[in-house]
Amino acid sequence: MSYRLVALLVIGLLSTILPGARADEVRPAAVALPTEPDPDDSQDLLFLASDRPVFIRLHLRVDGQSFRAAWRDFAAKMFREIDFNDDGLLAGDEWVGIPSPDMLVDGNPRGARGGGGEIIDQAPRDGLITLDEFTDYLTTVGSRPLSLQAVGAGERPGGGFVAPGGGIHVSSQLFERLDTDGDTRLSPDEFNAAPRVLARIDFDDDGTFSRLELLPGIYGGASFTPLAEQRIVRPAQFVDLGPGEPAEAIARRLLDHYDRPPLLADGNPAAAIGNDRLSRDEVHFSEELFAKLDLNGDGELEFNEIPHVARYPVPAIEWTIRIGRRGPSEAAVEIVSLDPALPVDVRPTGDGQVTFLIAATQLELSAEFSSASPRLREFYSQQFKAVDGDNNKYLDKAETQRNFFFNQIFVSMDEDGDGKLFESEMVRYIGRREAAAGSRSVMSVADGGRNLFEILDTNRDGRLGKRELLAAAKRLDVWDANKDGRLSEGEVPAHFRLSFGPAQPNLPGLQFVVNQRIPAPGGVQRGASDGPAWFQRMDKNHDGDISRREFLGTRESFDKLDVNRDGAIDAAEAGAP
How many Cβ atoms sit within 10 Å of the Cβ of residue 206? 18
Nearest residue to 64 via CA among 99, 38, 100: 38
Residue type, 152: G
Please state, as a whole number, how many other Cβ atoms lie within 10 Å of the Cβ of residue 85. Answer: 11
- Asked if residue 548 has pLDDT above 50, the reply is yes
Note the pLDDT of residue 56. 92
Q: What is residue 245's predicted lDDT score, i.e. its pLDDT? A: 75
Domains present along the chain, CATH in parentheses: 67-140 (1.10.238), 242-311 (no CATH), 373-438 (1.10.238.10), 533-575 (no CATH)
pTM, full prediction = 0.71
Predicted pLDDT of residue 270: 65
| Phi and psi angles of residue 137, each rounded to the nearest 5 degrees, phi first | -65, -40
Distance of CA 547 to the CA centre of its chain: 31
Cis peptide before 124 (omega within 30 of 0): yes
Compute the average pLDDT of residues 292-301: 92
- Would the pLDDT of 9 be above 60? no
**pLDDT in the model for residue 344:** 82
List Cα–Cα distances, 128 to 83, 140, 464, in angstroms: 11, 19, 59
Q: Residue 572 pLDDT more than 80? A: no
Res. 404 pLDDT band, cuts 50 70 90 = confident
Rounded mean pLDDT of 174-182? Answer: 88
The helix/strand/coil state of 262 is coil
CA distance 154 to 167: 9
* Residue 570 or 334, more confident: 334
pLDDT tens for each residue of 140-152: 887 889 888 887 6
Q: 79-113: per-residue pLDDT in tens?
A: 998 888 888 888 888 877 788 787 788 787 766 66
pLDDT digits (tens, 9 = 90+) for 417-449: 888 889 898 888 888 888 888 888 888 888 878
* 14 phi/psi in degrees, rounded to 5: -60, -40
Residue 4 has pLDDT above 80, yes or no: no
Which helix (H) or strand (E) segment holds residue 197: the answer is: helix 194-198
